[in-house]
A and B are shown apart, each in its own frame.
Chain A
Amino acid sequence: MKKTFFALLAVLFLFIQANIALCHPHIFIDAELLFVFDDRGLAGVKERWVFDEMFSQSLLVDFDSDNDGKLNKDDVSRLRDIFYENTKEYNYFNIITIDGRKFPIERLNNFTVSIEDNRIVYEFFVSCPVRVEPNKKKRVKVLLFDETIYTHLLIEDYKVDMKKKPDAFSVDMKYEMLDEVETPLGSLVPDSVVIIFRKK
């Protein structure tokens, strides 16, 4: 009877497991984040997405209209429009929280596309102003994530740009990992970057 019970549980478990999505990564992106500060606090995040070479070549076939190995203004506009249209509802694959509250992105700024070492590179600025009050810490978390899992985004690097107001703020930054991805096989990958800052 015990065996039967456990077997039935196993079947139910298999059944529930089926809710894992019918999709998985086919595009891989290495991302870099640059947290840009102005005199009030955080102005936003400049992002740089480098696509894997295999998919980059497919993108070029579709969007390099004159087959010269470069992307002209119209090609970039088409790439931008499709990217905006397909990802706007997904907050452009950015899940940004400010002190725990979700920040909706209205639009991306300064969107450009280039080709580096046979790889397509998207660059854009996410305006995300966070004004810092005296003696108050602010916590911003950026997670790059395609919830359909068609695209896998890895934050490879993150930096701070404080050229406009050097030494005005003290900043702590760290990767935050999801406990769930800790496996005995290792290969832990940072999933999000957390930046905590306050006025000096």
Chain B
Amino acid sequence: MNNAKKHIVLETKNLTIGYQQKKVKKIIASDVNISVEKGKFVALIGKNGIGKSTLIRTVSKVQHQLSGTVFLNKKELSTYTNKELATNLSLVLTERLPESQLTVFELIALGRQPYTNWVDKLSENDLKKINKAIQLTEVGHLKESRFYELSDGQLQRVLIARALAQDTDVIILDEPTAHLDMHHTFKIFQLLKNLVDTTQKTIIISTHQINLAIEIVDELIIMNSNEVINGDKNELIAQNKLENLFPEEILTFNKKLQQFTISKNN
């Protein structure tokens, strides 16, 4: 690989992820070496329980790695302070928000916290970023609504707007389409693709919408039980890297269609 002219924003070196319980290490995945370029739309895929969330938590410093290193913008992740990290990496999580009376605008504005002063006063620049985020995610008409009044699809767009307002190079989304129907799932993928194209940010999602991901994203991170690989989706397909994602007898990867299909002999 020729890394010289590529702008790598996120990279892991010999990363081992998992949990440390007292003196026992529970290793989820080891020798994880992935690198993600600036301005790419990346999907992290793998079956349930393989460790996608653990990997996401580790590269976003929510959880410590067991060994190895994570680099964010060429700097070791462990050397980032919370505040510094907040200006480089933003998150969209799956957990429900606590019940409060926040309006959509206020929720998105919270994305500016790493930049605001001690009483959270919004500067001209903060407002510009917030309005830009609102415009890009097309949630302007919802600005005054309370977030609990929104549909799941609308709320997801608002949470993405909040991450955008945080103005970071990398945005990581944990299963952003988990509660959405086909139509809204597609719209979220489309929105994220557009954001990558217009803002040159790097967006990494974990998802179970594999067929859709293969169609839309630029790169894949594939988590199998024995290895974690990443790269351009077409290269990975050519190398037959998707074949082992699921047990073969039910779902198989159809290379011609570039989709997973139900096994014929089932």
Do A and B form a real pair?
A: no
